[in-house]
Amino acid sequence: MTRNDLIPPSPSSEEYAKSGPPADDAQLFATDEPLALFTAWYREAREKEPNDSNAMALATADADGFPDVRMVLLKDFDARGFTFYSNAESSKGRQLAANPQAALCFHWKSLRRSVRIRGAVSTVEPETADAYFASRDRGARIGAWASEQSRPLESRFALEKRIAENAARFGLGEVPRPPQWIGWRLAPLRIEFWRDRPFRLHDRLAFTRPAADAPWAKERLYP
């Protein structure tokens, strides 16, 4: 087997037919409000996607313009934007501090849908980060103190030792939020919805606006 043999071939007409009839366009293109459409798609993903329906790829760029992308978890969304949390001293944290613009991508494979979002990023209010951190499992809170995210790690044992040290440090008491553990909110300026259709003739619907307080413009795109 060659490496090319690992890549699946393009689907045949018969395989496309097995995926069912095309979805009705009316529901997809009826709304002028992207957050309402995202909410509907996300709700369906919560019900049908087998693993981590809130997983999203976060793309940032470093000082040299090289892009980085990694998976993070969506923890909240509303009219202000899409919220996620991590370590401010990680690669993503440093890149967002230097260039507070980013892109997100959700891909719900079981639904054959994806959503791409890009916009400006700002840190969430400390009290918001405190409230979410307090809702996390105790082990995850201790782990946030133990992990020097994105820095070289000598061994797994070294990490487990730091976890044990921090568990002993806090004992049975409260585990507060580390100062470097923060949240970010991406205020979208562009949201694009993608839906799989036969023969790669997919549906694409893009919403754009020049500023976070401006109205949305909607347009359909060629696949």
Q: How confident is the model at residue 199 (pLDDT cuts 50, 70, 90)?
A: confident
Amino acid at 116: R
Torsion sign, CA atoms 124, 130, 132, 133: positive
pTM, two decimals, is 0.90
Which two structure tokens, joined as six digits, stand for 137?
């499992």
What digits encode the pLDDT tens for the residues 70-110? 999 999 999 999 999 999 999 999 999 999 999 999 999 99
Instruction: Average the pLDDT over each of 20-24, 114-118, 201-205 and give the range with the smallest value.
Output: 20-24
Hey, what domains does the chain have and what are their CATH numbers? 19-126+184-220 (2.30.110.10)
State the first-to-last Cα distance of the chain, in angstroms, to the nearest integer.
32
CA 106 → CA 60, 82, 161, 163, distances in Å? 15, 12, 35, 32
What digits encode the pLDDT tens for the residues 27-61? 667 889 999 999 999 999 999 998 999 999 999 99
